[in-house]
Chain A
Amino acid sequence: MTLKITGTGKGIPQKSVSNDELSKFLDTSDEWITTRTGIKSRHICTHETLTDLCAEAAMQAIGKAGISTCEVDLIICSTIAGDFRTPSLACCVAERIGASCPAFDINAACTGFIYSLEVASSLLASGKYGSILIICAEKMSAHLDWTQRDTCVLFGDGASACVVANGNALRYLNIRATPDVSMLYAANGVGNSPYDTTGARKGYVKMRGQDVFRFAVNAAETEISGAMAALGITAEQIDTIILHQANKRIIEATIAKLGQPKERFPMNIDRYGNISSVSIPLMLHDMLECGMIKRGETLFMAAFGAGLTAGSCVMVWE
């Protein structure tokens, strides 16, 4: 494995929507949402496109990496749906920031950042690429039924980016899938084909909440155990454990199962909600900006999501 993160960035919509604001048109309350999710507010796109958010995150990450746009050799976007069905969101961003390198999207739902690292680390190892820009971006507000309090309160919009290059920070990387579509999905639209007989479902996010909770807690525990076994380390040797920010209750249940101090599990779900694959690199960026991650510290990151996909990585920060 040859990878290190050399720069990070984020692009967040201006509008922050509080639980109280949602309770004006939903049968819900701040107390109901906070107790069940840990979410107090989330950012929602109004005038911003995903390309706008991605470009902002990308330019920050490129600047922090100390390179110019023309030195980016490849752009990978993790998203469940870009601004267009085609071209890819990665190509939209490339055009916006003036890059002319290859660009493509991947979709591994909330695990997209970890999957992107797997792809990037392999391509860096090939020697063909020197600097790869990974952008995770979701406009979850476009995939929600805003009359359903069980789902629409959970998600937010945003983008986060990082530049990766050859280095020794990445010590462990694992991705996997346990296919089960019905537990968590958002169907595509079907157009108006007169030949379609699938009776396809509407394109809103649907989930079996209890099953997702159980899958997520078990996946997080399995990923941590797997990483520790592979590296021959104990939980005490991991300085920071960044879990996908899907629900505070999932993180708290994982903490209880592992019996580790909660201070080692940073959370930002209170102000961002669940932004799918954006959440881990967003946390990384915010922590770096606050000086909360220092050289030599060991970070564990794990994600789980629709697919069902899961994955994790360990980095010793360079």
Chain B
Amino acid sequence: MLETITKALRDYKDDQELAVTEQTTFEELELDSLDVVELAMKLEEELSVTIEMSDDIKSVGDLLRVLQAA
């Protein structure tokens, strides 16, 4: 699942070398709240799941846990 998020992030940022770990925050990637929801929408489409958005999703790891629970 981390690989899926990493690929989505690299596509979204148009940077295939982008370094991504669970600890990476969206702020570090210069993504704001609307970028995060747009990323989530792409993942929803790809994985056929519904992601519950919340202000607590601040890092790749946070998004990973929400996806695993979906």
- Asked whether A and B interact, the reply is yes
Interface of A with B (CB < 8 Å)?
Answer: 35-36, 208-211, 213-214, 217-218, 247, 249, 253
A264 to B66, CA, bound (A): 36
19 additional contacts (CB under 8 A) given A35-B32, A211-B37, A217-B38: A36-B32, A36-B34, A208-B53, A209-B34, A210-B33, A210-B34, A210-B53, A211-B53, A213-B34, A213-B38, A214-B37, A214-B40, A214-B41, A214-B53, A247-B34, A249-B34, A249-B38, A253-B38, A253-B41
Indicate whether B36 reaches chain A with its CB closer than 8 angstroms: yes
Q: Are A217 and B41 CB-contacts (below 8 A) given A210-B53, A211-B53?
A: yes
In the complex, per-residue mask of B12-41: 1 if CB is within 8 Å of any chain A CB, else 0: 000000000000000000001110111011
A249 to B36, CA, bound (A): 12
Least CB separation from B32: chain A residue? A36
Least CB separation from B51: chain A residue? A214
Chain B residues in 8 Å Cβ range of A213: 34, 37-38
Chain B residues in 8 Å Cβ range of A208: 53
Question: Can you list 12 residue pairs at the A/B interface with Cβ under 8 Å?
Answer: A36-B32, A208-B53, A210-B33, A210-B36, A210-B37, A211-B37, A213-B34, A213-B37, A213-B38, A249-B38, A253-B38, A253-B41
Least CB separation from B38: chain A residue? A253
- The dominant DSSP class at the B interface is helix
Give 6 closest A-B pairs by Cβ, nearest first: A210-B37, A210-B53, A249-B34, A213-B37, A213-B34, A214-B37
Q: How far is the CB of B32 from chain A (nearest CB, A)?
A: 6
Chain A residues in 8 Å Cβ range of B38: 213, 217, 249, 253
A295 to B66, CA, bound (A): 51
A249 to B45, CA, bound (A): 19
Could you say which interface size class chain B belongs to? under 10
Least CB separation from A253: chain B residue? B38
Chain B residues in 8 Å Cβ range of A35: 32
A214 to B38, CA, bound (A): 8
Q: How far is the CB of B56 from chain A (nearest CB, A)?
A: 12
Least CB separation from B52: chain A residue? A211
A217 to B39, CA, bound (A): 13
Least CB separation from A32: chain B residue? B32
Q: How far is the CB of B6 from chain A (nearest CB, A)?
A: 20
A208 to B32, CA, bound (A): 15
A96 to B10, CA, bound (A): 58
Chain A residues in 8 Å Cβ range of B33: 209-210
Q: How far is the CB of B16 from chain A (nearest CB, A)?
A: 19
Chain A residues in 8 Å Cβ range of B41: 214, 217-218, 253
Q: How far is the CB of B51 from chain A (nearest CB, A)?
A: 9
In the complex, per-residue mask of B35-70: 1 if CB is within 8 Å of any chain A CB, else 0: 011101100000000000100000000000000000
A208 to B37, CA, bound (A): 12
Chain A residues in 8 Å Cβ range of B34: 36, 209-210, 213, 247, 249
Q: How far is the CB of B24 from chain A (nearest CB, A)?
A: 19
Chain B residues in 8 Å Cβ range of A247: 34
A208 to B33, CA, bound (A): 11
A218 to B41, CA, bound (A): 9
Chain B residues in 8 Å Cβ range of A211: 37, 53
Among A35, A209, A214, chain B packs the most CB atoms within 10 A around the CB of: A214
Least CB separation from B53: chain A residue? A210
Q: How far is the CB of B17 from chain A (nearest CB, A)?
A: 22
Q: How far is the CB of A92 from chain B (nearest CB, A)?
A: 37
A211 to B37, CA, bound (A): 8
Q: How far is the CB of A156 from chain B (nearest CB, A)?
A: 20
Q: How far is the CB of A222 from chain B (nearest CB, A)?
A: 13
